[in-house]
Structure 1
Amino acid sequence: MLTRETPVVIDGPVGQLEALYLDSAEPKGLALLCHPNPVQGGTMMNKVVSTLQRTARDAGLITLRFNYRGTGASEGSHDMGSGEVDDALAAANWLRAKHPELPMTLLGFSFGGFVAASLGGRLEAQGENLSRLFMVAPAVMRLRDEDTLPHNCPLTVIQPETDEVIDPQLVYNWSNELARPHELLKVAECGHFFHGKLPELKELVAPRLSN
């Protein structure tokens, strides 16, 4: 199994985006990963994103993670809104162009949960048939009326119960009000960055990627 990611450069809407790509000899699908808040130091190398990437890799998926505009070696400056979703769309289009036949899964952590959710709606509107969407400790307060979630793919929301960054009750309330089918998984005695709980996160995600 291939384990070493390859650095790639993607043409983004405001400049080149730094990314890491991992191919697979017998791929079962594609996984695009969206990282947390860049203003607070979030990058594609975040340990939660890295855990999600390895989980997707182990499930036989081709993976792509990338830095939003103004993060790492990615050009441009932070937008903290639709701009990062635009970047994610460019990454998704790059991945789709390389593998037009494989189903795509989106995984986002924290701010990246907002990005992945909004991206999913855009992709579905373009005719993309997504395989699954994971929102991990998602920044649901950033979702606006124009940020439409995808309707046709399974949605899994994973929320730490002692999250010190995203108020868990905000996520619970958002989940209760969300009309589309989804599952909400709560992780007990777990903070936002899954300190000591990364194996539990992998155990929650892995079987759902394999289904």
Structure 2
Amino acid sequence: MLTRETPLVIDGPVGQLEALYLDCDKPRGLALLCHPNPVQGGTMLNKVVSTLQRTARDAGLVTLRFNYRGTGASAGSHDMGTGEVDDALAAAQWLRAKHPDLPMTLLGFSFGGFVAASLGGRLEARGETLKHVFMIAPAVMRLRDEDALPHNGSLTVIQPETDEVIDPQRVYDWSQQLSRPHELLKVAECGHFFHGKLTDLKDLVLPRLSN
């Protein structure tokens, strides 16, 4: 199994996007990973994102993670909204062009949960059928409209119960009001960054990616 990701540059809407790509033999699907808040130091090398990337790899998926505009070696400056979703769309289109026939899964952590969900809605509007969207400790307060989410495919929300960054109750309330089918998984005694709980996160995600 290939384990070392290949550094590359993707053409983004405001310039180059720094990315890490991992192909695999006989892939089962594609995984695009969206990182947390860049203003607060979030990058594609965040340990939660890295755990999700390895989990997707172990499930037999091709993986792509990238830095939003203004992060790492990516061009531009932070937008903290639709701009990062635009960047994610460019990354998704690059991945889709390289693998036209494989099902795509989106995984986003924190601010990246907002990006992944919003991207899912955009991709679906363009005719893409997503297999699964994972929102990990997601910044649901940034999602103004349920219609921004994809309506098809599986949706899994994973929320730490002692999250000190995202109010867990806000995520629970958002989940309760969400009309489309989804599952909400709560991680007990766990903070936002899954300190000491990364194995628990992998144990939740891996079987759902492997289905």
- Residues 1:197 and 2:208 are matched in the alignment: no
How does 1:10-159 map onto structure 2 within 5 Å? 10-145=10-145, 148-159=148-159
SS state at 1:155 partner = strand
Equivalent residue pairs, number:
211
Q: Could you tell me which residue of structure 1 aligns to residue 164 of structure 2?
A: 164
Moved over 4 A (4+): none
Is the CA contact (8 Å cut-off) linking 1:118 and 1:147 kept in structure 2? no
Q: Which amino acid aligns with 2:144?
A: R
SS state at 1:163 partner = coil
Displacement after TM superposition at 1:206 (Å): 0.2
SS state at 1:159 partner = strand
Unaligned runs of 5+ in 2: none
Q: Which amino acid aligns with 2:192?
A: H
Instruction: Provide the rounded CA distance (Å) in 2 between the counterparts of 1:207 and 1:2.
Output: 20
Instruction: Provide the rounded CA distance (Å) in 2 between the counterparts of 1:171 and 1:146.
Output: 14
Cα offsets for 1:146-166 (capped at 9, x unmatched)? 861001110000000000000
Task: Describe the shift of the 1:147–1:19 C-alpha distance in structure 2 as closer, same or farther (beyond 3 A).
Answer: farther
Instruction: Provide the rounded CA distance (Å) in 2 between the counterparts of 1:153 and 1:198.
Output: 25
- Which stretch of structure 1 is more off in the superposition, 139-148 or 80-89? 139-148
Cα offsets for 1:91-117 (capped at 9, x unmatched)? 000000000010000000000000000
Unaligned runs of 5+ in 1: none
Cα offsets for 1:37-80 (capped at 9, x unmatched)? 00000000000000000000000000000000000000000000
Instruction: Provide the rounded CA distance (Å) in 1 between the counterparts of 2:124 and 2:94.
Output: 16
Q: Which amino acid aligns with 1:208?
A: R
Displacement after TM superposition at 1:144 (Å): 2.0
Instruction: Provide the rounded CA distance (Å) in 1 between the counterparts of 2:59 and 2:210.
Output: 6
Instruction: Provide the rounded CA distance (Å) in 2 between the counterparts of 1:157 and 1:180.
Output: 12
Q: Which amino acid aligns with 1:206?
A: L
TM-score (normalizing by structure 2): 0.99
